[in-house]
Structure 1
Amino acid sequence: MSGEQVENEWKTITEDFQKIEKIHDEYVQKMRQMTSIQGNAQKALKHHSYLMKNFRDSIKKTQNKSDLSQEEIEKIDKIRQEVEVSNFKLRDMEAELPAQNNGFYLNLILGSNLNVSLLTKSERFKYKQEYEEFKWRITILITVLTSISYLWPFRVLDSILCFLMVWYYCTLTIRESVLRVNGSKIKGWWLTHHYLSCAVPGMVLTWKDGQCYQEFRPLFMCFVVYISLVQLAQNQYQSGCLRRLHALGQGHQMDITVEGFTSWQFKGLTFLLPFLMSGYIFQLVLSFKLFGWISEEKCEGLWQVWALAVLLGIIAAGNIITTSFVCLKKFKTTPSYTHIRTLTRKYSSRHRFGGGAGAQNQPEGERSRSGTGNASKEHEQ
């Protein structure tokens, strides 16, 4: 290659670099503008939220007045409806802006200066999908590794499994905190469940090998395999439910699958509920078994026994109570519950008035005797 050709090629590269510089300068300028606009939008939303809060307080004070006319009451009701619509729009606007606070947990782990907000809905949905894939892959890995460890009882394999489970649950808590910052409504017991679950394999990992550990080991392995298989089936089922809810516009885009039973699962079959409850009862049995071992000589001096007994008991009780409340709350919205309540009220009213409308047409003496006879028959039954 001649010197002239080298010079011409360098000129071409220089021109291309100048184009890159222009694009980069434009990018930096737009980023600064976007950051400035974001700051202004957050300030404006914060100020508007303050005004709305004061306005709602004013509405409450006005409604408490007793000298309001019907026309004024109707005007206030109309304004309240408009306020609700405005609040929905305000929440949508806030969802498009970076969160101002990552929360205590993320600030403790990542630092308070790192912004974990994802700016677009597509980025948030991709992160949520990656979270679901992560849970699916690691749960399969835990199932396979637990099966291998059960068949070949080496403490090294047990330690690797416990390390994997500790890392998995710790990672879940971080990812779920990021999802919460980006609009996912992860709350209640199932978030606490992951924090507590981090400690369980950690305690098993530090448990000294011996007769007590060897007796607990197969039970723990069976529990992990069972609950992992149920979670895999549940993940597939819940993913299908969420896709259907998203398609019908009845579910939030950032809703995720959880280890427990949630109300939106009633949109389809509830065949997984018995398997879930069986897993929770299995966990409760493990807790009671460990409590029984505390005073035995083989487990003497092992703090892991009573600590695991307490922790497994708390987790199992929380799972059972939360799932039961969800089922009961959802059952109260079903037509069957409404029908049962209607029949109960109808029977109670008839019983209270001594047989209903037919009894009202009887003479007073006969009605009294009839009511007494009915009560006696019911008592005999």
Structure 2
Amino acid sequence: MTSYESLIEDWNTLVANFENAEKSHDEYLRLQKDTTRLQNNSSRSVKSLLKTSGQVKSYLKKLEQSKDKPGEDENEKLEEINRRMIEIRTRLGEMQMELPAESNGFYLKIILGSNLNVSLLNPDDRYRYKEEYESFKMTVTYFIILTLFLAYIFPYRAMDAICNFLMVWYYCTLTIREAILRVNGSRIKGWWVAHHYISTVLCGIILTWRDDQCYKQFRGLFIFLSIYICLVQLMQCRYQTGCLRRLHSLGQRQSDMDITIEGFSSWMFKGLTFLLPFLIVAYIIQGYSSYRLFYMYLYQDCNEDWQVLALAFLFAIVAAGNCFTILRIVFRKIQERYSLSTRSRLVSKYRPKAI
């Protein structure tokens, strides 16, 4: 075959493949337009149905609180409506999660803009993003521990600045990733989101603190606290990941977008209560850090550095918020267990005995 004939054959193949590709691309564009139109229609329908179901729910609540008692037939109908209402609203919530979010939220709008859609419609994509978030936390935490050890061995301000800059970047990135996770259905508690915002500001303030005698007095305590918290976080990430997988496999968690947290949650009572002492020690050190900074500001001539007072308040907020959160969770869990034990005793007491 001559080179001319080879060229003609390759050209004909190229033209045929181009025509097929063009047809496929046109079909893709048509389906994309249809998908966008169907998404918009579905979003409007779900939003309208959620509003209507909310009105019906409020009407049912008013009827239950009214003095006029319904008849037996009406009671059965109301119970049926209540049951179906729960099913409908649950399914509407699932449908809403499978559609693009209407808004990225104030924080993401500032950083990414209002026109960028960060909704991951494929459940596999959402799960992979969540897993990548967990991997990011673990990897960066290892790097932070390494830099903190180096800063402890080599007590130079430049090394401290690298550590603090790394932690500022880490917490800033966490806040962005968590905002995207929340848009995609991850139910992250408000305190842990606020905790990362406060940690970002806290590390940023330490980064701007000048290398004076007051900074050197607090430096050792801060490095120790940071290393300890990082080690506890590594323990939590490993054990919480296994716990979440076990709960998902048993069907005790509804969402695959649950993430590991720096604190303690109710589902962690499933065998992870051994983490409580480590967390309590961390919160005590945070509270002591606040006390130490207040003492330095009031009695050790450190009132010229505004960072001292600002850090004292921030450490106090973090310690108080962590303690309040963990106490509320433990108290609620004790109440649940007491309620279940009381109910089981009553059932056992009044169960008909076999003849």
Q: Same fold (TM over 0.5)?
A: yes
Q: 1:309 aligns with which of 304, 312, 336?
A: 312
Shift of 1:297: 5.1
SS at match of 1:214: helix
For 2:20, the aligned partner's letter is: K
Output one character per residue of 1:351-380: Cα deviation in whole Å (capped at 9) or x when no partner: xxxxxxxxxxxxxxxxxxxxxxxxxxxxxx
Q: Matches of 2:230 and 2:98 in 1, distance apart?
A: 36
Aligned to 2:352: none
| 2:47 aligned with 1:36 | no
Q: Which residue matches 1:72?
A: 74
Which residue does 2:100 correspond to in 1?
98
Q: Distance in 1 between matches of 2:244 and 2:300?
A: 51
Distance 1:60 1:335 in 2: 29
Structure 1 runs, 4 residues or longer, greater than 6 Å off: none
Deviation at 1:132, TM superposition (A): 0.4
Shift of the alpha carbon at 1:59?
A: 2.6
In 1, distance between residues paired with 2:264 and 2:60? 39
Gap regions ≥5 residues in structure 2:
346-355
5 Å-filtered alignment, 1:365-376, equals: none
Distance change >3 Å, CA 200–CA 67, structure 1 → 2: closer
The whole-number CA distance in structure 2 between the counterparts of 1:151 and 1:298 is 28
Q: Mapping of 1:247-262 within 5 angstroms?
A: 247-251=249-253, 252-262=255-265
What does 1:339-378 correspond to in 2, within 5 Å? none
Letter of the 1:20 counterpart:
A
* 1:138 aligned partner, one-letter code: V
The CA deviation at 1:6 is: 2.1
For these two proteins, the number of residue pairs brought into alignment is: 340
Specify the SS of the correspondent of 2:278: helix
Residue in structure 1 matching 2:223, options 221, 224, 227: 221
Alpha-carbon deviation of 1:39? 0.6
CA contact (8 A) 2:239 2:272 kept: no
**1:284 paired to 2:292:** no
Q: Which moved more, 1:14-23 or 1:98-107?
A: 14-23
Distance in 1, Cα, partners of 2:175 & 2:6: 59
Separation in 2, partners of 1:324, 1:154 = 39
Task: Report the 3-state secondary structure (helix = DSSP H, G, I; strand = E; otherwise coil) of the residue aligned with 1:100.
Answer: coil
In the TM superposition, 1:95-244 aligns within 5 A as 95-244=97-246
| Residue in 2 that maps onto 1:24 | 25
Three-state SS of the structure 1 residue aligned to 2:103 is coil
Distance (whole Å) between structure 2 residues aligned to residue 139 and residue 250 of structure 1: 29
With over 3 angstroms needed to count, the CA separation of the structure-2 counterparts of 1:294 and 1:337, relative to structure 1, is: farther
* 1:124-169 deviation line (CA, Å, top 9, x unaligned): 0000000000001011111111011111111111111111100110
Task: Kindly state the Cα deviation for residue 287 of structure 1 after the two structures are TM-superposed.
Answer: 0.7
- Between the two proteins, what is the percent identity of the paired residues? 47
Paired residue type of 1:109: I
Deviates more, 1:67-76 or 1:149-158: 67-76
Amino acid at match of 2:308: V
Greater C-alpha radius of gyration: 1
Match of 2:53 in 1: 52
Distance 2:272 2:109 in 1: 40
Return the offset for 1:8. Answer: 2.2
Q: Which amino acid aligns with 2:256?
A: Q
Q: What is the TM-score with the length of structure 2 in the denominator?
A: 0.92
Distance 2:59 2:151 in 1: 65
SS at match of 1:333: helix
What CA RMSD, in Å, does the superposition of the two structures yield over aligned residues?
1.7
